[in-house]
Amino acid sequence: MGKPDKTTSLPAWSATRVVGRPVPRIDARQKVRGDAVYTADVQLPNMAHARFLRSERTHAKIVSIDTAAASAVPGVLAIVKPDEWKDVLLKDNLGRGIPILADEPKYAGEEIVAVCAETEDAAREAAAKIRVVYDDLPHVIDPEEAHQAGQFVGGGWRKTRLGEPAVYQRGDARRALTSGGRSVRIFERTYRTAPMTHCSIEPHAAVASFENGRWTVWESTQGVFAVRESLAEMLGASINDIRVIGTYPGGGFGGKVSAGKYTFGAAYFSKKFARPVRFVQDRNEEFVSPYGRPASVQTLKVGVNTAGKLVAIEQKGIHAIGPYEFGAEWGHAEDLLTEIYECPNVHAESIAALTNVPPPCAMRAPGYAQGAFALEQMMDEIAAALGMDPVEFRLKNIPDRDPDSKRPFASPKGRHGLRECLAAGAKNFNWEKRKRDRKTHEDGSKTGIGVAATIWGGGGGPPAAALLRVHADATADLFTGAADIGTGIRTALAQIAAEELGIAVERIRVTNADTDLTSYTLPSYGSLTLASSGPAVRQAAHDCRTQIISLAAQALQTTEDQIALVDGYAVRAATEEQPEWITPIAKLISQSPAREIVGNGERGPNPKLALKAYGVQFVAVTVDPESGEVRVDELVAVNDSGRVINRMAFDSQLIGGATMGLGMAFLEERSYDPASGKLLNANLADYKLPTIFDQPREFKLDRVEVPYDANSIGAKGLGEPPVIPTAPAVANAVFDAVGARIERLPISRKRLIDSLMKEQAKK
């Protein structure tokens, strides 16, 4: 293994008292009682309210904006048209900007006017009374149509010119597919996934106040520091002119990583009128701003040899990324296939098609969720054609080092998370036996089983820092920059501190996500938060621990290696000469010169190893071929995220992720009317999310904790992996039940009936 960095220089925990236990969230009570404050709840004296007017047209030049009637609405403070903010740009990860207000809206729902008023009602009324004259321009919704017209750039993390795809290449896939002769069998299929929306329970929201030359912004966000940077740029201000306070965010899922147009609006008006301004989006606005998972069309061509080894993968992915190049980094789905299985020849093209729909942003497992739907069904199809068990086929193609970077894995020799997940999952699910179960039942229903696998990064890394103050009564304050977007990271970090300090979790208060009070930390995205901030917290706590032990050694007149910290006490174990000696940690600190102990921790770099997390899901379904209804009877999820810090939070991630995956599989799709280009279902009645009744009758959750020492807590990411394998596992199970391949998501009742009819017609 590689050279350990500063944070890994702490030895791995041997036995743990708090880490690994199922610990209820430290804020559960507050949340359940409704005491937790979310941004939309923030009420300040003399607060004004802002909102956007959005384009009614899909693509149009604005001829005129008449605000006379709107300005006459009592309580209206300001109406801002596009030219007033024309120099302000919201930027994506690669620095591509879009206007806050568009004078040529390029998708229905794009922001065109901003209104600020005394009350929310007045702002609504004024917005409704603005008269806009549009001159319609042509639009394109279908990404394939845009691709054919040459209107695309490369998707992913490298910018390209117009008309140039982003290409990933290793080996020579084309040659391997054409010159393999009889020994290489080739499989080809096109898969389509739907555009989706995060549907966080709390909409995007910001409240800004401007006092003494400085903004304070409360934001529902995954990353306070990212909001601060982006907002400072839009305002032309110093980052130190802005304090961002992350309230409890009501979900994020990738949609709240940085500042939004509304954040700028709130900050702008708060300075202009020297009073606080609240800017909260409505539910229907959540479907156009900001964005979500882009639609994808993926064509896979895979070659496999007679021994069942993958020889080559060719992939072409077309993604609808909106009218600007903004967000094109989310228009790709090839990552998973470049790294999950051993395959010497890979050629993948990412095409980010310019379409008149909202630009995309990250959404839980961006790219991977779409990519898995294609690849993991293809694996199933190939296994069947080769007469191999799909679990065995996957096992056969597990790489022994990272196929992309060629680095060794950060796990002990001979151990691989995916292999162990597949084995544990097959056992839990009783795969071998169920493979032979009858599929057709007396009432006409059919049952089937399916499996799918995933890989994800989630190794985390710098920058992340933590500060811990242990007080004279052995309570502690932990300061961390990380946002808790619902994963329970605040609890996990408190557990890590408690483990080191030998005090109870309840004695640690966590202050997080505040740019004034906590140190710089990356946003909570990419499933990296625990693996980034966890080691920083452990180091801060270890720093305090060392100081407490040194005080104890003096007080107990012994050497430091004789002291243990347990349940709030420093303990020197009994020896033959001396009895056990014990003293409260509180007493040690209260008698110390500083009267408190302060520790600092900073996340160091990772070793040069491949840092990967894994997971599998096995599902059993019952299909009613008369109505197209599918019931998920059982779902087994097994993940390798290294050391599990909180078993309860681990289970919650698996349940939440798989449920979201079921939404992707069966229900979720933003539907556009191709003629008008308008979104037809911008509400939660017509865009359906799974409810508790759509969850499997039985969840079985398990973990394999393959030892991982790339960081000092031994943990890696889990936020995104559980959403990835669900849709392909379900699709494979549906195929097993009825013999129809699922080429398009979501698997609606109608689509299933259609593909059954197609299968029947073939026979």
Partner 1 sequence: MRSYLAEFSVISPRSLDEALWALKQRPAPAPIAGGTDLMVLLNAGQLPPGAYLNLHSIPELRRPIEFVNGEACFGALTTYADARRHPEIRKRLPMLCLAAREIGALQIQSRGTWAGNIVNASPAADGVPALMAYDAAVELSSASGVRSVALADFYSGYKQTARRPDELVTAIRIPVPEKEAVQYYRKVGTRKFQAISKVLLAGIMVLGKDRRIKKIRLVYASVMPYTYRARAVEAVLEGRVPDGAAIKAAVAALRSELKPIDDVRSTAAYRLRVACNLLEEFLSASSPSRGEARRG
Please give the single-letter amino acid code of residue 467: L
Cβ of residue 268: shortest distance to partner 1, in angstroms? 22
Considering only 105-113, 253-261, 585-593, 677-685, which stretch makes contact with partner 1 by CB under 8 A? 677-685
In the complex with partner 1, the residue whose CB is nearer, 282 or 437, is: 282
How far is it, in rounded angstroms, from Cα 125 to Cα 664?
36
753: contact with partner 1 by CB under 8 A: yes
Q: Are 281 and 204 in contact (CB under 8 A)?
A: yes
In the complex with partner 1, the residue whose CB is nearer, 475 or 695, is: 695
Tokens at 603, concatenated: 């996340």
Using CB under 8 A, which of 516, 749, 759, 760 touches partner 1? 749
The secondary structure of 663-724, three-state, reads HHHHCCCCCECCCCCCECCCCCCCCCCCCHHHCCCEEEEEECCCCCCCCCCCECCCCCHHHC
190: contact with partner 1 by CB under 8 A: no
- Listed in sequence order, the residues at least 6 apart from 674 whose beta carbon sits closer than 8 Å to its beta carbon are 141, 142
468: left (phi over 0), alpha (psi -120 to 50) or beta: beta
Which residue spans within 212-354 are E strands per DSSP?
214-219, 242-246, 277-280, 296-305, 310-320, 345-353
Q: Kindly determine how many residues on this chain lie close enough to bind partner 1 according to the rule CB under 8 A.
A: 32
How far is it, in rounded angstroms, from Cα 501 to Cα 560?
15
666: contact with partner 1 by CB under 8 A: yes
In the complex with partner 1, the residue whose CB is nearer, 526 or 690, is: 690
In the complex with partner 1, the residue whose CB is nearer, 430 or 681, is: 681
In the complex with partner 1, the residue whose CB is nearer, 194 or 492, is: 194
Using CB under 8 A, which of 121, 135, 188, 432 touches partner 1? 121
The H-or-E segment that residue 584 falls in is strand 581-584
Q: Are 706 and 417 in contact (CB under 8 A)?
A: yes
69: contact with partner 1 by CB under 8 A: no
125: contact with partner 1 by CB under 8 A: yes
How far is it, in rounded angstroms, from Cα 508 to Cα 726?
37
Using CB under 8 A, which of 18, 42, 126, 127 touches partner 1? 127
Considering only 125-133, 229-237, 326-334, 532-540, which stretch makes contact with partner 1 by CB under 8 A? 125-133
In the complex with partner 1, the residue whose CB is nearer, 124 or 185, is: 124
In the complex with partner 1, the residue whose CB is nearer, 205 or 498, is: 205
Considering only 85-93, 190-198, 431-439, 666-674, which stretch makes contact with partner 1 by CB under 8 A? 666-674
In the complex with partner 1, the residue whose CB is nearer, 590 or 695, is: 695
- Listed in sequence order, the residues at least 6 apart from 752 whose beta carbon sits closer than 8 Å to its beta carbon are 623, 628, 630, 734, 738, 740, 742
How far is it, in rounded angstroms, from Cα 416 to Cα 410?
9
Using CB under 8 A, which of 324, 582, 681, 699 touches partner 1? 681
Footprint on residues 610-629 left by partner 1 (CB under 8 A) = 626-629
Angle between helices 224-235 and 261-272 (to 10 degrees): 60
61: contact with partner 1 by CB under 8 A: no
186: contact with partner 1 by CB under 8 A: no
In the complex with partner 1, the residue whose CB is nearer, 435 or 749, is: 749
Considering only 167-175, 355-363, 574-582, 745-753, which stretch makes contact with partner 1 by CB under 8 A? 745-753
Please give the angle made by the CA atoms of 754, 758 and 763, to the nearest 5 degrees. 150
Q: Which residues pair with 315 in a beta bridge?
A: 300, 348
Footprint on residues 210-229 left by partner 1 (CB under 8 A) = none
CA 183 to chain centre: 41
445 burial level (CB within 10 Å; 0-12, 13-18, 19+) = middle
Cβ of residue 2: shortest distance to partner 1, in angstroms? 48
Annotate each residue in 399-438 with x if it binds partner 1 (CB under 8 A) or - if it does not, as one string: ----------------------------------------
Cβ of residue 621: shortest distance to partner 1, in angstroms? 12
The secondary structure of 23-56 as a DSSP string is ---TTHHHHHHT-SPBGGG---TT-EEEEEEE-S
Using CB under 8 A, which of 307, 693, 761, 762 touches partner 1? 693
How far is it, in rounded angstroms, from Cα 454 to Cα 457?
10
Q: Are 75 and 117 in contact (CB under 8 A)?
A: yes
Question: What separation in angstroms does the CA of 507 have from each of 286, 491, 498, 501?
Answer: 38, 12, 8, 11
Annotate each residue in 631-660 with x if it binds partner 1 (CB under 8 A) or - if it does not, as one string: x-----------------------------
Considering only 124-132, 301-309, 430-438, 724-732, which stretch makes contact with partner 1 by CB under 8 A? 124-132
Tokens at 203, concatenated: 């909409």
Using CB under 8 A, which of 124, 158, 309, 647 touches partner 1? 124
Considering only 86-94, 123-131, 145-153, 359-367, which stretch makes contact with partner 1 by CB under 8 A? 123-131
In the complex with partner 1, the residue whose CB is nearer, 9 or 760, is: 760
Q: Are 256 and 221 in contact (CB under 8 A)?
A: yes
How far is it, in rounded angstroms, from Cα 547 to Cα 15?
21
Considering only 93-101, 193-201, 571-579, 749-757, which stretch makes contact with partner 1 by CB under 8 A? 749-757
Tokens at 550, concatenated: 């040194």
Considering only 224-232, 306-314, 530-538, 681-689, which stretch makes contact with partner 1 by CB under 8 A? 681-689
Using CB under 8 A, which of 131, 691, 758, 760 touches partner 1? 691
Using CB under 8 A, which of 112, 667, 715, 724 touches partner 1? 667
Considering only 118-126, 194-202, 386-394, 608-616, which stretch makes contact with partner 1 by CB under 8 A? 118-126
Please give the single-letter amino acid code of residue 734: V
685: contact with partner 1 by CB under 8 A: yes
How far is it, in rounded angstroms, from Cα 261 to Cα 279?
10
In the complex with partner 1, the residue whose CB is nearer, 405 or 691, is: 691
Q: Which of 721, 701, 705, 739 is nearest to 618 (CA)?
A: 701
Alpha helices in 460-598 (DSSP H): 489-501, 529-555, 585-590
694: contact with partner 1 by CB under 8 A: yes
Per-position b or e across 504-533, b if 16+ CB within 10 A of its CB: ebebbebebbbbebbbebbbbbbbbbbbbb
475: contact with partner 1 by CB under 8 A: no
- Paired sense of beta strands 345-353 and 446-456, if any: unpaired
Considering only 211-219, 357-365, 453-461, 689-697, which stretch makes contact with partner 1 by CB under 8 A? 689-697
Using CB under 8 A, which of 690, 696, 717, 725 touches partner 1? 690
Footprint on residues 281-340 left by partner 1 (CB under 8 A) = 282
Considering only 7-15, 121-129, 259-267, 368-376, which stretch makes contact with partner 1 by CB under 8 A? 121-129
678: contact with partner 1 by CB under 8 A: no
Cβ of residue 727: shortest distance to partner 1, in angstroms? 15
In the complex with partner 1, the residue whose CB is nearer, 302 or 737, is: 737
The H-or-E segment that residue 599 falls in is strand 597-602
Q: Which of 745, 697, 677 is nearest to 110 (CA)?
A: 677
Using CB under 8 A, which of 128, 149, 162, 566 touches partner 1? 128
In the complex with partner 1, the residue whose CB is nearer, 12 or 128, is: 128
750: contact with partner 1 by CB under 8 A: yes
In the complex with partner 1, the residue whose CB is nearer, 21 or 688, is: 688
The H-or-E segment that residue 190 falls in is strand 184-193
Catalog residues that contact partner 1 under the rule CB under 8 A: 121, 124-125, 127-128, 282, 443-444, 626-629, 631, 666-667, 671, 680-681, 683, 685-686, 688, 690-691, 693-694, 748-750, 753-754, 757
